[in-house]
Each structure stands twice: as C-alpha cells, then as structure tokens.
C-alpha cells in the first residue's frame, strides 16, 4: 500500500502511520522469535556496556603530540612512528572484572579520543570564534543524533558534551584545545586544504560541500577503514618475529636505492616497541587487579591475563584464546592510528579456525568455552567508538563503527569455507546480540544448508545480521577491477566485506601451526572506500531543475546550464553534466587530501599488517598493498533520483499533465506541506498541511502516482538501469591518486537522512527535508506495492557486479518467518534474490509498531536493535531522522 494520503500529525493515533505490504496486522505488537541468553559473564559485561556513556580522553593525543613536537625535522614516517609509540606506551590500562579479552582504545569502556593530527578545526571551532567558520562542515548543522543510550548529548556537571555524543571531563578541555592548536596548519586537514585549493574549479567544490551535495571529505575525516584487516603476520610471527623481519629487511635496504623502505621498516619496528609497552602495561595492571582481588577464581583469571599478555607482547599465539586476544590487540592498535570507520575483522572464523581446531582436538577447549569467548569478543567490538564531528559520527555513521565479520564464502580451492567455528560465531551472535561485530554471510551455492539455516535463524530474531551477500557477484566485481594488479579466481575467493558493505580484495596467507599449514584469508588492500564520499543524487537533480542553484540557501553551486529543459533527454543530459562536474572536482581534491595524509601522517600499523607492505617496504599510501584500485564514488538517494526522473518523464513530457514550471513551483511550495525541518518528522507518514495544500494536491498526486522503482515496472526500471549502467562506466573516467580508475559504490549508511534534510521536495512526491530511500536498491518506503519478488525483479534489472555493492533493506513482520517452516520460506526467498544476481539483502524482522512504541518510550527499549543500512544499531542511539525513516519502511506481511 503506497502512502497516498499522508497522515497529518495524528500523533495520538499511531495505528495508521505504517506502510504495509499484505494484510495489516490486527493483534498487538508482535514480539520477535525467542532470543537466547548469553553466558552470565557476557550478560554482566553487556549490562556494564549498556550503562556506559561514550567518553573521550585526551591521553593519547597529548602524548602523541608531545613526542611529535620533540622530533621537529625528523623523517615524517619516523616521527609518526615515534608519536604512535609514545601514545600507546602512555595509555592508562583499564581491566574490568570478568573480562577474558582485555585492552581497549582508551581508558574508558566506550573510550575514544580526538586525533588532531588529522583534523583539529572541529575542536577549535568549539572554543575559538576564529575557527567557527573555518572548514566548518555544513553537514553538522543538519544532523540529528540519538538522544538515548550511551550518547552524552548535553553537558552535565564536570562533563562536557562534544559532537552531541561524547563526554569529556571539563578539566581536560584546556589541554585538548592547547593540543589541538599545535596542529593548526600542520594537520592533514589544514595542509590538504591548502593544496586542494589549487585544483581548478575549487570554488565549485566549496559550494558543493556547503550545499551538502557531498557529505564529507574522506582524506582527513576517516582516511582509513571500509576495509578488511589482515592478522596473518602477528599470528604467524608474533611481535618479535615481525621486528626481526623489519631488522633484516632494514639491513638489506639501508643506503640502497628506494630509501623510503629504510624509513618504513624503521617506523614499523619503532611502532611495535610502543605496542609492546602498551601490552606490558596491561599485564602489569592485571597483576595489580589480582593483588586486590579476594575471589580466587577472578584472581586466577587476572594472573592468566597477565601471563597471556606477557607472552603475546613478544611471541606468536599457540592457542585459540591467545590468537583471539592478539587479533583484538592489533584491531584496536589500527583503530588508534587514525579516525577509522569500517575496519572489518573479515573472515575471522576462518582465520582462527586452525587454533580452534587444534585446541578442540587437544581437549583444552570446549564449545561452551568458545561461545563464552566469542560473546566476550562481541562486547569488545561493540565498545568501539570513533570520535568525529557530529556530521560524520551522527550523519554518516549513526554512532556505529562497522566492524564486519564475514562467514562462509569459498576456500582457496573453491569449496565451501564455512566451518564449525563459524556456526559458533552465529550462535554467540544470537545469544549475545549486540550491534558489533555485524555479520555478513557470503552466500554461495556450495554452502551447506545447515549453515544457511543457522544464518536465517540468527537473522530471524531481529539482530539485523547476518546480511546476505552474493559471493559470485563480488568475485566478478573483484576480477573486473583487480585483474590488472594480478588477481585471479583463486585469490578473488579470499575477499570479504570491509565496513558495512564494501567489497574488499583479500589474499590467502600460509599460516603454520604445529607443523600444519592453513591458508587463511585476510584483507589485502587499503581502505576500499575513500575518494568521493556520498553525492546526493536528488540534490544534484534539484540543481538541474533550478539552473545550478541550491534552493535551500539560494547560493549558486554549478554554472547556470541555461537549458530550458524542454525534453526529458535535456534533463538527463544536464544531470549527467552536473554529476560529472561533481565527481571530477571531488576526485581531484580528495586525491590531494589523501596524498597529504600519506605524506604527513602515513599508516604504519595497518600497513604492516597488509600484504605485501612488509615485503615491499612501502606503506599502503605508497601502493605497498597487493591491490590498490580502491578509490570510489559513493552516491546516495539513487532510488529517489530514479523515481523523480520517472515522474518528470511521465508527467511533464509523456503525458504533459504538469508543466516544468508548475512542477518547480510545486517543489518549492513543498506540495502544500510544512517541511520536515519545521515539523521534526522525517518520513512521509506524518506530515502537516499548510493552507496551500489543496492547491497543490493534484500535482502531488500525479507525482506520487508516477511509476516507481520496486514494482517490476519497466517504465521506472529502464530509467534505473540506464542510471546504473551510466554511473558505473563514468566513474572509470576519473583516476585516483594511485592512478587507477574509480568504481561506483552504492550504499547510504545514514546519509540518506541528513542529505534528505537539506533537499527540497522531489518530483517523485517526497517532501522537503524528509529522508531519501535507504541503500541503493531498497524501494522508497511504501512505494513497493507488488511484493518482494517484484522488488527483486526491479533490483536486478542491471548487473550488480558493475558496482562495488548494492544494498537492499527489507522489513518483515516477525510472524511471517516464525518457526522452522518460516525459516525455510525465508531462506528460499533470500536465495531467489541472490540467484537473480542481487548482491546484498538484509532484514529487519520487526513489528513497526514496536519501533513506534520505542520512539515514544525509549527507556523500555535500551537493548532494541535495528538494521539501518549495512549496520545494526541500538534504536535509542539513532537520530530521529533515521528512526522515522526505518519506521516508515514498507513492512512485509507476506513473502509471496
């Protein structure tokens, strides 16, 4: 049922504000299928987490900056390594009772910290008027952030709220500002900004950012991430072993051509010394905790922690527990290197399987103990926060950090890679349902049915994970893009999802454990999603219709096109022109930002982990990785663009039922409604009429009735296909700083809300300020009226391997998939979509009325999780824009 009659502020009557496909549910709110309970240890840890607030510390940036300043004039990568070493060596250790896996980003449970070496303007703008306008991200102003859960949304007592999410002790503000000021004109942001202004057309870039046609620059906000980590080197060699590799290679390259290798090996060696001190400080803390402990079991656990850390500070792991702990140490270490979102552990169940298998065979590990450890791992990943400005952390990330763990797929020989440990990972994700790590199941026909049903069982209880990903489509994409760098089918199988949904290349590495060799997969490329981050397609169309202007601010973004737009082809041609201009200038400016990042603040830890940096002596910003074609163009609002083009084509040009001028005036008048920014309601389900409503009713109805994507309607789908084919091809016209072509990336994360917030009403009938459709192949809420299979036909009308990804979110009422029969029906539906060539599908199994109730009574729903777009998040930590959008999504009451 499509929302033809928009509900008008009926807040007291919440029964009629949902979009359903199928029969409207009549009984009360339907609970999700029964959940499992975590182990008492994990339960306690999760409770502690749920009570904890996001907290920022100045410790790491202070020590980093202090050492950096001491080394003025030093080779940049050495200076950076020394700064990192000092930061790690001075982190105050904190071990909580009951922890089996220890160490964290900062000394708080949900701790993080600013990284002024990347960007300091945001911090300074809070303190100093001088910086209030400098580099200020417009996206900050139009983002809403969740008001509940662990977000510190207001300053209280001795705690100051920063970025609407993080708490910082008041007494740390002066040193934070002082530290930030030391990075003025020296941070990646400032130096990059200086040079990006040299790009021809830079003025257009500034206007694009101001208009929020582009969400943010990637070079200094989140320069790393959206990639898969590789834990091979620590697992194979241990820290001392890697140091020995560095020393040996250093001797081989010192004084020889290609001198950068010398500094790289020296930098890795230095950084590892810092990590060793960090680990040993934790070991010492564990002994302190043991000395204070009266409970003998807990005391023994502290001693075991200390011994484990002592061992791992130098040696390779020998057991599953040690391997998991070491994986965690390096995961956090990379996260402390830069502001990072989407650092995925990848196919961790396959990486750790050798250790698990051998421990099980020796009888030193049980499935029950494994579950407990895996639950503890889930808590640790869920603790991860990323400090960034409100526009980034709220508007893009929704407070999530997207650590994606992948399951299934194929092994090196092309057989199913699913294993027993992955079954336990799924089990622990059900018993300890926390947002992170999110799970992705790499679907292949070779995967056993039992494994797939386990995945469905997990999805069904409302976790939002695993997302279902098409292994074959991903491999096709990878081979298309990385064959030139030597990728073949065998290596394409090692891929995984980086971040929420970025297909990332991997490689097989030969892990030796007790005389046996195991080929383990791991990431083999730097950030697979940097470059042009989130172009708002409906906003570009708005500029097309209004001759290059941002109608929200009245500012000129693009040169006037001067076209009368008398044919559909003219509209499409001008759109392509403006879009291309956008991609061009953003590619060039982001190339500079990333180049500066690599020059002044290169990655050392992540570089060390990625094949083949240790072999080549080059860091990831100097093409040390095996695969480097990793820059992309991310877009948002594609379905609203397509629906709008369909409406223009149908109403203005084919049927001539509206003139272009009438349409434009109707858009400016928001079809006679108040804007979402005025009403605070960000979906179409609840909007408020103005006195002009009746005047615009006819045109609005025509726009809403125009063909819509998601209904197997060729009129809209042909436009969708043309857009997809064009954009994937045009991205290749632009080259990254690595001199490789770009590819398209089609995910929305959370940007569809803030980007919708600054966009006028659109020709598809969407109102001003409301969110766009999420993902890239999700239908606009309420517009998919012909069931899931019609939606699948629309979604797969083009080849998904043309792009790094596609994203389909669906919301299904829990009763539809209840029981074993429901599971099978559900699995068959998922398979049907993937067999058609769909790349990705993920599901919210939830009664929309529960979400509505949670919005009204958040305190009753602290643990409620929903799938947003490539990630699962606690409902109460989502901004209202996203909450409204998730509520309004079509709820499927039947699968056929």
Partner 1 sequence: MNHYDCKYYLNTDVFKGLCKRDKSSINADDQACENFVNARKCKYCSNFTLISTDLGTCMNKYDAYPEMSAVTCNEFS
Q: Which residues bind partner 1 (CB under 8 A)?
A: 48, 51-56, 58-59, 62, 66, 89-94, 96-97, 107-110, 150, 152, 156-159, 167-169, 171-175, 178-179, 281, 288-289, 292
Shortest gap between Cβ of 381 and partner 1 (angstroms)? Answer: 17
Annotation says 457 is catalytic = no
Bridge partners of 410, per DSSP, are 416
Q: How far apart are the first and last CA of the chain?
A: 15
Whichever of 101 and 773 has its CB closer to partner 1, that residue is 101
Catalytic residue among 375, 502, 634, 740: 502
Whichever of 167 and 858 has its CB closer to partner 1, that residue is 167
Shortest gap between Cβ of 228 and partner 1 (angstroms)? Answer: 30
CA distance 873 to 885: 14
- Produce one character per residue of 384-423: b if its CB has 16 or more CB atoms within 10 Å, e if not: bbbbbbbbbbbbbbbbbbbbbbbbbbbbbeeeebbbebbb
Q: Determine contact, residues 191/563, Cβ cutoff 8 Å.
A: no
Q: Determine contact, residues 836/796, Cβ cutoff 8 Å.
A: yes
Q: Determine contact, residues 737/223, Cβ cutoff 8 Å.
A: no
Whichever of 96 and 134 has its CB closer to partner 1, that residue is 96
Shortest gap between Cβ of 627 and partner 1 (angstroms)? Answer: 38
Shortest gap between Cβ of 876 and partner 1 (angstroms)? Answer: 16
**From residue 102, how far is each of 376, 415, 507, 872 by CA, in Å?**
10, 35, 28, 24
Whichever of 174 and 448 has its CB closer to partner 1, that residue is 174
**764: its two tokens:** 């598809």
CA distance 437 to 514: 29
Bridge partners of 217, per DSSP, are 532
Q: Determine contact, residues 285/277, Cβ cutoff 8 Å.
A: no
Give 453: exposed, middle or buried? Use CB within 10 Å, 0-12, 13-18, 19+.
middle
Shortest gap between Cβ of 287 and partner 1 (angstroms)? Answer: 13
Whichever of 689 and 862 has its CB closer to partner 1, that residue is 862
CA distance 166 to 116: 16
Shortest gap between Cβ of 399 and partner 1 (angstroms)? Answer: 15
If you write DSSP's letter for every residue of 245-307 in order, what string do you get?
A: HHHHHHHHHTTSS-THHHHHHHHHHHHHHHHHHHHHHHHHHHHHHHHH---HHHHHHHHHHHH
Q: Give residues with Cβ within 8 angstroms of 603, minimum separation 6.
A: 224, 337, 338, 526, 619, 620, 621
CA distance 30 to 27: 8
DSSP helix/strand/coil, 895:
coil
Residue keyed to tokens 């549910």: 25
Shortest gap between Cβ of 356 and partner 1 (angstroms)? Answer: 31
Whichever of 147 and 718 has its CB closer to partner 1, that residue is 147
**483: its two tokens:** 């064959």
Shortest gap between Cβ of 173 and partner 1 (angstroms)? Answer: 7
Phi, psi of 20 (to 5 degrees): -115, 145
Whichever of 94 and 253 has its CB closer to partner 1, that residue is 94
Sign of CA dihedral 76, 78, 80, 82: negative
Bridge partners of 633, per DSSP, are 532, 744
Whichever of 171 and 661 has its CB closer to partner 1, that residue is 171
The full 3-state SS of 393-413, as one line of letters, equals: HCCCCCCCCCCEEEEECECCC
Shortest gap between Cβ of 189 and partner 1 (angstroms)? Answer: 21
Whichever of 45 and 407 has its CB closer to partner 1, that residue is 45
Shortest gap between Cβ of 167 and partner 1 (angstroms)? Answer: 4
Catalytic residue among 246, 500, 636, 797: 500
CA distance 351 to 523: 11
Whichever of 290 and 532 has its CB closer to partner 1, that residue is 290
Residue keyed to tokens 């990785």: 625
- Produce one character per residue of 134-172: b if its CB has 16 or more CB atoms within 10 Å, e if not: ebbbbbbebbbbbebbbbbbeeeeebbbbbbbbbbeeeb
Pairing of strands 865-867, 840-845: unpaired
Shortest gap between Cβ of 174 and partner 1 (angstroms)? Answer: 4
Whichever of 145 and 469 has its CB closer to partner 1, that residue is 145
E-assigned strands of 550-691? Answer: 631-636
Annotation says 214 is catalytic = no
Q: What is the largest CA-CA distance in the chain?
A: 82
Residue keyed to tokens 């594609």: 638
Active site residues: 500, 502
């Amino acid at each position: 049922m499509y929302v033809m009659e928009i509900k008008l502020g009926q807040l007291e009557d919440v029964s009629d504000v949902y979009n359903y496909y199928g029969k409207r549910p009549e009984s009360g709110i339907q609970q999700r299928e029964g959940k499992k309970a975590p182990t008492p240890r994990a339960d306690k840890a999760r409770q502690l987490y749920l009570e904890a607030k996001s907290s920022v510390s100045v410790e790491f940036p202070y020590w980093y900056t202090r050492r950096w300043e001491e080394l003025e004039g030093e080779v940049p990568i050495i200076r950076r390594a020394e700064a990192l070493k000092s930061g790690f060596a001075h982190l105050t250790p904190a071990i909580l009772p009951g922890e089996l896996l220890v160490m964290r980003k900062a000394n708080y449970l949900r701790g993080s910290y600013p990284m002024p070496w990347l960007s300091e303007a945001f911090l300074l703008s809070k303190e100093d008027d001088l910086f209030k306008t400098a580099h200020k991200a417009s996206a900050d102003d139009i983002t809403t952030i969740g008001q509940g859960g662990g977000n510190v949304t207001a300053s209280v007592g001795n705690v100051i709220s920063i970025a609407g999410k993080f708490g910082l002790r008041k007494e740390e503000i002066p040193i934070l500002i002082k530290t930030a000021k030391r990075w003025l004109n020296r941070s990646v942001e400032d130096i990059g900004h200086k040079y990006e202004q040299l790009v021809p057309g830079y003025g257009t870039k500034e206007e694009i950012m101001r208009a929020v046609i582009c969400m943010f620059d990637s070079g200094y906000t989140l320069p790393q991430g959206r990639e898969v980590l590789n834990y091979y080197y620590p697992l194979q060699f241990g820290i001392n072993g890697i140091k020995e590799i560095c020393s040996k290679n250093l001797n081989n390259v010192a004084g020889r051509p290609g001198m950068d290798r010398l500094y790289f090996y020296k930098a890795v060696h230095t950084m590892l010394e810092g990590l060793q001190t960090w680990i040993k400080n934790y070991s010492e803390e564990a002994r302190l905790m043991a000395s204070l402990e009266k409970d003998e079991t807990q005391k023994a656990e502290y001693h075991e922690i200390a011994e484990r850390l002592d061992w791992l500070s130098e040696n390779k792991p020998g057991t599953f527990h040690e391997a998991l702990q070491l994986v965690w140490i390096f995961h956090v270490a990379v996260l402390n290197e830069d502001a990072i979102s989407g650092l995925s552990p990848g196919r961790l169940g396959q990486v750790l399987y050798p250790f698990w298998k051998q421990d099980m065979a020796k009888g030193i590990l049980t499935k029950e103990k494994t579950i407990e450890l895996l639950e503890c791992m889930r808590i640790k990943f869920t603790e991860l926060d990323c400090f960034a400005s409100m526009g980034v952390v709220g508007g893009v990330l929704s407070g999530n950090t997207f650590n994606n763990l992948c399951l299934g797929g194929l092994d090196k020989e092309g057989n199913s890679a699913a294993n027993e440990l992955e079954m336990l990972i799924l089990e622990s994700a059900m018993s300890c349902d926390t947002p992170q790590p999110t799970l992705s199941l790499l679907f292949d026909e070779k995967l056993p049915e039992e494994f797939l049903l386990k995945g469905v069982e997990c999805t069904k209880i409302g976790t939002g994970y695993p997302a279902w990903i098409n292994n074959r489509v991903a491999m096709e994409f990878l081979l298309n893009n990385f064959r030139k760098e030597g990728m073949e089918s065998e290596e394409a199988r090692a891929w995984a999802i980086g971040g929420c949904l970025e297909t990332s290349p991997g490689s097989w590495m030969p892990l030796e454990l007790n005389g046996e060799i195991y080929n383990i997969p791991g990431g083999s490329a730097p950030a697979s999603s940097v470059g042009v981050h989130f172009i708002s397609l409906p906003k570009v169309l708005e500029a097309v219709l209004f001759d290059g202007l941002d109608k929200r601010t009245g500012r000129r973004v693009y040169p006037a096109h001067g076209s009368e737009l008398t044919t559909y082809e003219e509209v499409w041609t001008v759109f392509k022109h403006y879009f291309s201009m956008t991609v061009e200038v953003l590619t060039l400016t982001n190339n500079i930002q990333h180049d500066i990042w690599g020059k002044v603040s290169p990655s050392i830890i992540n570089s060390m982990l990625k094949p083949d940096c240790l072999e080549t002596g080059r860091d990831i910003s100097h093409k040390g990785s095996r695969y480097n074609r990793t820059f992309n163009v991310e877009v948002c609002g594609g379905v609203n663009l397509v629906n709008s083009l369909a409406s223009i084509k149908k109403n203005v040009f084919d049927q001539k039922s509206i003139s272009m001028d009438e349409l434009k005036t109707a858009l400016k008048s928001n079809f006679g409604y108040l804007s979402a920014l005025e009403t605070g309601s960000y979906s179409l389900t609840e909007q408020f009429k103005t006195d002009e409503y009746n005047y615009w009713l006819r045109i609005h109805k025509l726009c809403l009735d125009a063909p819509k994507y998601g209904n197997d309607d060729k009129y809209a789908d042909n436009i969708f296909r043309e857009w997809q084919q064009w954009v994937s091809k045009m991205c290749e016209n632009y080259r990254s700083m690595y001199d490789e072509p770009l590819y398209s990336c089609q995910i929305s994360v959370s940007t569809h809300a803030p980007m919708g917030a600054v966009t006028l009403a659109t020709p598809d009938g969407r109102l001003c300020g409301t969110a766009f459709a999420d993902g890239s192949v999700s239908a606009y809420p309420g517009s998919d009226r012909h069931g899931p299979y019609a939606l699948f036909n629309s979604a797969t009308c083009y080849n998904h391997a043309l792009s790094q990804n596609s994203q389909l979110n669906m919301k299904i009422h829990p009763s539809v998939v209840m029981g074993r029969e429901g599971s099978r029906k559900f699995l068959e539906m998922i398979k049907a979509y993937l067999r058609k060539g769909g790349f990705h599908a993920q599901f919210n199994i939830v009664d929309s009325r529960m979400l509505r109730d949670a919005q009204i009574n958040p305190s009753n729903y602290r643990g409620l999780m929903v799938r947003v777009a490539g990630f699962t998040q606690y409902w109460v930590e989502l901004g209202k824009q996203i909450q409204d959008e998730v509520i309004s999504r079509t709820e499927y009451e039947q699968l056929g």
